C-alpha cells in the first residue's frame, strides 16, 4: 500500500523533444512534457493540459533515443514539488512528475 501513496500514471502525447542534460558525474536527465487528451469538446477545452516531467538514467536515455514530439507514451512516476529562483530573483514553485517507467506505443 505504501507504494501507491505518491503514484501518477498517465497516457498522452509527447509535447516536445526531450531536453537532455548530462552532468560531470555521468548522470543524465531528460526534461519533457506530455499533453493529456481531454474528452470535453467545448471551446475552452480545445487546448489539452500539458504536464512537465523529468527522467533520470536509463529512462532518460530511452526517451532521448526513441521518443519524438507527438509520440504516444504511457508513464508511471511520482509528483515532485520544488522551488527555484527565476531570472528576476523571485521564488517560484513548480510541480513536476519524476518518471520511473515509460512505454511507447
pTM: 0.83
CA distance 34 to 20: 16
User: Where exactly are the structural domains of the chain?
Assistant: 2-104
* The CATH number of domain 2-104, selected from 2.160.10.10, 3.30.450.20, 2.40.50.140, 3.40.50.720: 2.40.50.140
Rounded mean pLDDT for each run of 10 residues along the chain, 105 residues in total: 78 94 95 84 67 96 95 96 93 96 94
Amino acid at each position: 500500500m505504501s507504494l501507491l501513496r505518491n503514484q501518477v500514471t498517465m497516457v498522452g502525447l509527447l509535447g516536445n523533444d526531450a531536453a537532455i542534460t548530462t552532468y560531470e558525474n555521468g548522470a543524465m536527465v531528460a526534461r519533457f512534457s506530455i499533453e493529456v487528451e481531454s474528452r470535453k469538446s467545448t471551446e475552452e477545452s480545445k487546448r489539452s493540459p500539458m504536464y512537465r516531467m523529468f527522467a533520470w538514467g536509463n529512462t532518460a536515455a530511452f526517451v532521448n533515443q526513441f521518443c519524438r514530439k507527438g509520440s504516444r507514451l504511457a508513464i508511471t512516476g511520482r509528483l515532485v514539488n520544488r522551488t527555484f529562483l527565476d531570472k528576476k530573483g523571485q521564488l517560484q514553485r513548480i510541480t513536476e512528475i519524476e518518471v520511473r517507467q515509460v512505454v511507447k506505443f
